[in-house]
């Protein structure tokens, strides 16, 4: 049949979107009263017509429900329909029993709500105005619904009651939706067919709520998929990442995390405790310096971030206490210069001076004038990095050779200089010096902290090694992960060039115990504690061009330098013969350094020789790729810088001590064989291995 003129004036367009056909609406057209529109099913519009379109489209998610407005104008006669289509989703809703009028009146007119699912035959519900007899009316009441396949030529206002009613005389009404029926649709179309024409227009509003999201279960996270409209009740993540809680959930009260009562878990709580009730601390916890987020160490970047947060927010951060300010010895409680913390990541370590050691009054001057005199200071302040607590369970005093000739903990210890014998005493010393406690904690407190630290490892394989060591299992497992060809080559380089101090293949597996090489007590043997020239100022070659070249220390690192005067008693074992002809050293030695190392424990001089100046314990290297910066003063920012330093270190030792046992795998051979230093070509493999372990 030929389409009426009003329909021919409307150009219909359609396109495919995600597999569904969505039609575009046409312009506002005045409709003659006598025109009857042909039978058809509606196709909802994809976008609203902004200027003259008859469709007001709302393409929101099904989660928000449906909110549509439709309008019928009488002078001139036109309509604006409401239309929405959900792409990829649908809405389950209850057929409304009425549709309210928001402007004008309903009279005894008619409105229609049509809806469909997946493009199938739409259903149209007819609503009749509640005006009487044809005036007023505030809403349209549901009369009946039917599928579009049963529609006749009854869309026009003229005679539609009779024709519409006759359509249901075959008994099919019983299978059609009624008010409060539950339906599902992905497209909706709202139209005002007729209202009270005494008003300029009639406007109606349809509101269908989105799906109910909550399920009254405190153990689920409730949401609605914005595309499909599906309601999702996902179980909440119960694991809080804390091995010291038992995680559970009650549907009424929600998650619960019950603390575990164990040595390690009590120790963890103590480790993070800033209150330290009854101990009189300064608000610091162990975790303030041994930051869990930084693998239990302190980095300059983390310290600077915390300092900036503190100053911008005004909220106190206990990391910043006067005791660790550069100007503490001058300004006391008013100290505020935190350069060493924020630039270098270093904390103050205060150690009593041995009786034969004095500080000179030249401060950080380099060189210290010969006229400098001893001060009355009785302690030395050195600035050191905060080592990670990882793998402490396999380090510390080990009872293995080589053994230091003097000082405490001759077979290794805790802290960078090995001065502490147990983890309990390490924790106590830190609480006293860094947390400023005035009352010592009970022994059980320290035992628990030690228990917690003993459970922290850089990798599961190191924990397996620790367990095997504790059980006396032999042979011990190799904690190395699976290595590729480059890493395997790097391991061979490491064992040759670094293992004499950090590996100890066939001996103690801590990675911090030197190998037992040569004859103990002779120049062929490696010593327990070493200097690697990492303190400041760095050695400078006097030959031009230089045969070795260390990276110079920064100005902020050089500010930590002091000059020490050591009086040698000349009486073994605390001293050595002095004051005589060479090779006897002078009886008074002056050393300028940022950190004298174990010399502060022993008072034993002889710089560059068998003394203890700048000697430190060897750290284990498991997990080293994640613990930058490096060395006792954080002066190596990367592993590349570490190897550059060791390259210069080996070159210097070859010049100054060519028979040093750390240079050779063949101690005592004459002339000496220098086969331990790595080559430039071996650096990539060595780096690959260090990053893997």
What is the per-residue pLDDT across 74-96, written as a single tens digit (0 to 9) for each? 989 999 999 999 988 999 999 99
Model confidence pLDDT, tens digit, residues 318-339: 999 999 999 999 999 999 999 9
Query: What distance separates the 2 farthest-apart alpha carbons in the chain?
Result: 133
Comparing 514 with 41, which gets the higher pLDDT?
514
**Does position 667 have pLDDT exceeding 50, yes or no?**
yes
Per-residue model confidence as pLDDT tens digits over 434-456: 999 999 999 999 999 999 999 99
Q: Are strands 13-17 and 20-24 parallel, antiparallel or unpaired?
A: antiparallel
pLDDT at 574: 53
Listed range (408-412, 514-518, 611-615) with the worst mean pLDDT:
514-518
Inter-residue contact 465 to 476 (CB < 8 Å): yes
Mean pLDDT in residue range 670-693: 96
pLDDT for the residue numbered 505: 72
Q: Which of 320-334, 337-351, 467-481, 546-560 has the lowest mean pLDDT?
A: 467-481
The beta-strand segments (E) located in 193-327 are 201-208, 220-224, 231-235, 245-250, 254-259
pLDDT class for 587, splitting at 50, 70, 90?
A: confident
| Residue 562 and residue 363 in contact, taking contact as beta carbons nearer than 8 Å | yes
Stronger pLDDT, 586 or 276, i.e. the higher one: 276
Cross-strand bridge partners of residue 654: none
Span 607-646, pLDDT tens digits? 555 689 999 999 999 999 999 999 999 999 999 999 999 9
Mean pLDDT over each residue of the chain, to the nearest integer:
86
Asked whether the predicted pLDDT for residue 44 surpasses 70, the reply is no
Instruction: Tell me the pLDDT band of 580, cut-offs 50, 70 and 90.
Output: confident
CA quadruple 167, 171, 173, 176: dihedral positive or negative? negative
- Looking at residues 682-688, what average pLDDT do you find? 98
At 50 the pLDDT is 32
| More confident position, 237 or 28 | 237
pLDDT at 572: 56
For range 54-58, the mean pLDDT: 44
Structure tokens at 541: 């070659």
The pTM of this model reads 0.71
Helix (H, G, I), strand (E, B) or coil at 665: coil
Residues 127 and 110 sit within 8 Å (Cβ to Cβ): yes
% of the chain at pLDDT higher than 70: 85
Report the range of poorest mean pLDDT among 11-20, 46-55, 514-523, 642-651.
Answer: 11-20
| Res 11 pLDDT > 60 | no
List pLDDT tens digits, range 208-229: 999 999 999 999 999 999 988 9
Tell me the per-residue pLDDT of 238-254, one tens digit each, with 9 for 90 and over. Answer: 999 899 999 999 999 99
The CA-atom distances, in angstroms, between 108 and each of 141, 154, 167, 507 are 10, 16, 20, 101
The pLDDT of residue 151: 59
Helix boundaries (H) for 142-274: 160-166, 263-271
Q: Could you tell me the pLDDT band of residue 570, with boundaries at 50, 70 and 90?
A: low
Residue 169 reports pLDDT greater than 60: no
Nearest to residue 501, comparing CAs of 339, 664, 662? Answer: 662
pLDDT of amino acid 516: 83
Two structure tokens written together for 66: 């449906």
- In sequence order, what E strands does 378-485 have? 379-385
pLDDT at 162: 35
């Amino acid at each position: 049949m030929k389409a009426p003129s009003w329909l021919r004036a409307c150009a219909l367009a359609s396109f495919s979107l995600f597999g569904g056909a969505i039609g575009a609406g046409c312009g506002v057209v005045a409709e003659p009263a006598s025109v009857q529109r042909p039978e058809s099913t509606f196709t909802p519009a994809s976008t609203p017509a902004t200027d003259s379109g008859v469709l007001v489209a709302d393409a929101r998610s099904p989660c928000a429900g449906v909110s549509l407005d439709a309008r019928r104008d009488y002078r001139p006669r036109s309509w604006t329909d409401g239309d929405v289509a959900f792409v990829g989703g649908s809405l389950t809703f209850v057929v409304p029993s009425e549709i309210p009028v928001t402007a004008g009146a309903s009279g005894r007119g008619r409105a229609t709500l049509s809806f469909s699912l997946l493009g199938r035959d739409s259903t149209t519900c007819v609503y009749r105005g509640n005006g009487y007899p044809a005036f007023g009316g505030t809403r349209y009441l549901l009369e009946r619904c039917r599928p579009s396949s049963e529609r006749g030529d009854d869309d026009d206002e003229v005679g539609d009651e009779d024709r519409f009613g006759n359509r249901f005389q075959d008994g099919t009404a019983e299978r059609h939706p009624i008010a409060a029926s539950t339906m599902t649709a992905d497209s909706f179309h709202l139209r005002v067919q007729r209202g009270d024409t005494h008003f300029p227009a009639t406007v109606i509003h349809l509101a269908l709520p989105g799906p109910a999201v909550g399920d009254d279960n405190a153990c689920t996270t409730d949401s609605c998929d914005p595309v499909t409209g599906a309601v999702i009740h996902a179980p909440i993540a119960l694991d809080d990442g804390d091995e010291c809680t038992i995680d559970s959930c009650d549907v009424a009260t929600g998650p619960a995390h019950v603390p575990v009562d164990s040595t390690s878990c009590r120790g963890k709580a103590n480790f993070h405790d800033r209150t330290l009730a009854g101990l009189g601390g300064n608000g610091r916890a162990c975790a303030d310096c041994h930051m869990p987020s930084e693998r239990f160490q302190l980095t300059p970047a983390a310290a600077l971030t915390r300092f900036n947060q503190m100053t911008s927010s005004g909220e106190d951060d206990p990391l910043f206490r006067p005791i660790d300010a550069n100007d503490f010895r001058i300004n006391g409680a008013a100290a505020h210069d935190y350069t060493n913390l924020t630039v270098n990541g270093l904390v103050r370590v205060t150690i009593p001076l041995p009786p034969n050691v004095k500080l000179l009054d030249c401060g950080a001057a380099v060189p210290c004038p010969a006229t400098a005199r001893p001060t009355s200071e009785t302690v030395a302040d050195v600035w050191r990095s905060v080592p990670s607590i990882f793998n402490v369970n396999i380090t510390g005093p080990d009872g293995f050779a080589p053994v230091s000739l003097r000082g405490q903990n001759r077979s290794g210890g805790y802290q960078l200089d090995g001065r502490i014998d147990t983890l309990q005493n390490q924790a106590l010393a830190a609480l006293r010096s860094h947390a400023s406690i005035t009352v010592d904690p009970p022994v059980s407190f320290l035992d628990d902290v030690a228990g917690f630290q003993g459970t922290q490892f850089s990798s599961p394989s190191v924990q397996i090694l620790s367990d095997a060591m504790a059980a006396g299992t032999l042979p011990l497992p190799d904690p190395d992960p699976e290595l590729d060809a480059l890493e395997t080559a790097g391991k061979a380089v490491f064992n040759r060039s670094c293992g004499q101090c950090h590996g100890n293949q066939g001996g103690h597996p801590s990675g911090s115990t030197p190998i037992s090489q040569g004859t103990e007590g002779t120049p062929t043997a490696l010593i327990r504690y070493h200097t690697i020239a990492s303190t400041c100022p760095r050695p400078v070659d006097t030959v031009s061009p230089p045969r070795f070249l260390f990276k110079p220390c920064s100005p902020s690192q050089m500010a930590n330098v002091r000059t020490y005067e050591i009086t040698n008693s000349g009486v073994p074992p605390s001293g050595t013969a002095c004051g005589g002809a060479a090779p006897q050293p002078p009886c008074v030695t002056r050393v300028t350094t940022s950190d004298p190392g174990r010399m502060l424990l022993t008072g034993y001089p002889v710089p560059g020789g068998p003394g203890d100046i700048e000697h430190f314990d060897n750290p284990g290297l498991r997990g080293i790729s994640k613990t930058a910066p490096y060395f006792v003063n954080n002066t190596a920012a990367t592993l590349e810088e570490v190897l550059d330093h060791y390259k210069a270190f080996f070159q210097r030792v070859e010049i100054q001590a060519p028979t040093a046992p750390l240079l050779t795998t063949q101690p005592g051979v004459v002339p000496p064989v220098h086969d331990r230093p790595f080559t430039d070509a071996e650096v990539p493999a060595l780096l690959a291995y260090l990053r893997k372990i």
